[in-house]
Structure 1
Amino acid sequence: MRETIVAALKKVEEDYDVKVLYACESGSRAWDFPSKDSDYDVRFIYIHKRNKYLSIDPMGVGKKRDVIELPINGLLDVSGWDLTKTLKLFRKSNPPLLEWMQSNIVYYKAYSTFDKMKELHSNIFTPTSCIYHYLNMARNNFREYLQGDEVKIKKYFYVLRPVLAAKWIEQYNEFPPLEFSILLEKLLPEGELKEEVSKLLKRKISGDELDLEPCINVINEFLNLEIDRLDKYVRTLSVELDDPTYELDQLFRDTLDEVWN
């Protein structure tokens, strides 16, 4: 599959006259709990030639899209962001982008842009925006999928993971690892809760259907309490960072020079 993915990225470069800077896996495979039939969710960052940016309409306005999305083909879902969009989201500590940067499944990396972004990350990371993102995800999924006597059991992971990610930020003041197994091992103490979550994880990875089943009370109670507690915690945070726009502008210009000169 890796060869197929790299070939798709090369075709993107040819069809759109861009250069791909970085490509990785996101979603359940990167989170370390794929099902047997999980898609390959490939996400990439790219840059156009200089003249594409030197115009009166900025990238992302009108017909100048700052996203490339390929038609989903079987198990392959490929999409990417222009570097200007990427850096604007990076400035906001956008969690999906930060997850791309944390992915342990990297399909392609060229030039120095990604490494420079990693160097800037600790000075740009905003814990409040990331915790709010994960809390909203957890709260919405919990409300939609995990209420009642019977629940869609696989949806536990789509509430547990963001809750544990927010909990990691609270505890370590850094962006969390993607792998669910690491969050589980580091953040949950030994006991009934951890045992129940571990059982679910083994079932999901082994390919169990994990459809409607009786709710797991110990997990529901934990999620209820943690979502409420983290919501109160994040409201107490006040983090001020220097504006990184100058550094990000320079990174963009440096990338143009490096790639196209």
Structure 2
Amino acid sequence: MQTIIQQQLQQIEQQHNIQIIYACESGSRAWGFASPNSDYDVRFIYMHPMEKYLAIEPIKNQLTFPITSELDIHGWDLKKTLQLIHKSNATPFEWLQSPIIYQQQTDLAQQLWRLCAHYFNPRGNVHHYLGIASSALQNLSGRQIKIKQLFYILRPLLSACWCIQHKQIAPMTITPLLQLLPADLHKHILELIDFKNTVIESHIIEISSNLHDYITTTTNHIKSQIPQLPELNFTTTQLDTFFINTLKNHASHEHH
């Protein structure tokens, strides 16, 4: 599958006359709790030749492709990505620390990741994760839930707690996040991840009262913490510098 994805990305570069800076897995496979039927969620960051950014016509700032049964590919233009990093958007923060990388220009990817750390706004990130968890919580009827949805509640709740406790970007993978759980639940969730590896995503499980209580208490705890978190605002200076330098370097490497 890796090879198929890399071939697809190369085709996309040629067809759209772009350069892919970074391409990664962004779904449950990267989070560390895939099911046998999980699809591949490929996300990439690309840039156009410099002239495109200077042209009168607005550029395409994202590329979307038809989703197949196992492949979902989606890309963002570098400028759009930097605008989102400026707003402390958690999505590029996650992409740039994915454990599964399909293609990258290493130095640029590393510089982008360093920029993310500078643009981390705890309150915004906690809000984002609480929102994801809250919408997934609507799938909980009594104590029954699809196994996929349970992880769509747990991962963002733990990510929000991480942002509150550590005052830094939450890890993308679930393993370090599980350290935040009480020991008994930590063990229980590891067992559930092993189980999830063997069943389809829509498999319904009954969650323990212990886990149910933890979810409720943690959700309320996060809500109570939000007002105390700083609301940070950032200038775009570092992003502008990175963007201009990247375009200039790219232009000087192009052979006309």
**What TM-score, normalized by structure 1, do the two folds share?**
0.90
Q: How does 1:1-261 map to 2 (within 5 A)?
A: 1-59=1-59, 65-110=60-105, 112-142=107-137, 144-184=138-178, 186-191=179-184, 193-207=185-199, 211-243=203-235, 245-261=236-252
- Give the residue type in structure 2 aligned to 1:174: Q
- Check whether the contact 2:143–2:208 (CA below 8 A) recurs between aligned residues: no
Shift of 1:260: 2.7
* Residues matched between the structures, number: 252
Helix, strand or coil: the match of 1:71? coil
Please give the alpha-carbon distance, in whole angstroms, between the structure 2 residues aligned to 1:2 and 1:51. 32
Please give the alpha-carbon distance, in whole angstroms, between the structure 1 residues aligned to 2:149 and 2:3. 31
Shift of 1:95: 0.8
Shift of 1:167: 0.8
Please give the alpha-carbon distance, in whole angstroms, between the structure 2 residues aligned to 1:114 and 1:195. 34
- Give the residue type in structure 1 aligned to 2:84: L
- Check whether the contact 2:19–2:47 (CA below 8 A) recurs between aligned residues: yes
Query: Could you say if the C-alpha distance between residues 217 and 153 of structure 1 is closer, same or farther in structure 2, counting changes exceeding 3 Å?
Result: farther
Shift of 1:54: 1.3
- Give the residue type in structure 2 aligned to 1:253: I
- Give the residue type in structure 1 aligned to 2:169: F
Please give the alpha-carbon distance, in whole angstroms, between the structure 2 residues aligned to 1:209 and 1:76. 16
Deviating beyond 6 angstroms after TM superposition, the runs of 4 or more aligned structure 1 residues are none
Shift of 1:122: 2.3
Query: Could you say if the C-alpha distance between residues 154 and 57 of structure 1 is closer, same or farther in structure 2, counting changes exceeding 3 Å?
Result: same
- Give the residue type in structure 2 aligned to 1:157: F
Query: Could you say if the C-alpha distance between residues 247 and 195 of structure 1 is closer, same or farther in structure 2, counting changes exceeding 3 Å?
Result: closer
- Give the residue type in structure 1 aligned to 2:245: D
- Check whether the contact 2:86–2:234 (CA below 8 A) recurs between aligned residues: no
Shift of 1:224: 0.9
Sequence identity, in percent?
36
Helix, strand or coil: the match of 1:22? strand
**What TM-score, normalized by structure 2, do the two folds share?**
0.92
Name stretches of at least 5 consecutive residues in structure 2 with no aligned partner: none
Q: 1:23-73 deviations in whole A, cap 9, x for unaligned?
A: 1111101100011121111100001112211133443xxxxx311112223
Please give the alpha-carbon distance, in whole angstroms, between the structure 2 residues aligned to 1:115 and 1:67. 21
- Give the superposed CA RMSD: 1.8
Please give the alpha-carbon distance, in whole angstroms, between the structure 2 residues aligned to 1:97 and 1:209. 25
Shift of 1:213: 3.6
Helix, strand or coil: the match of 2:43? strand
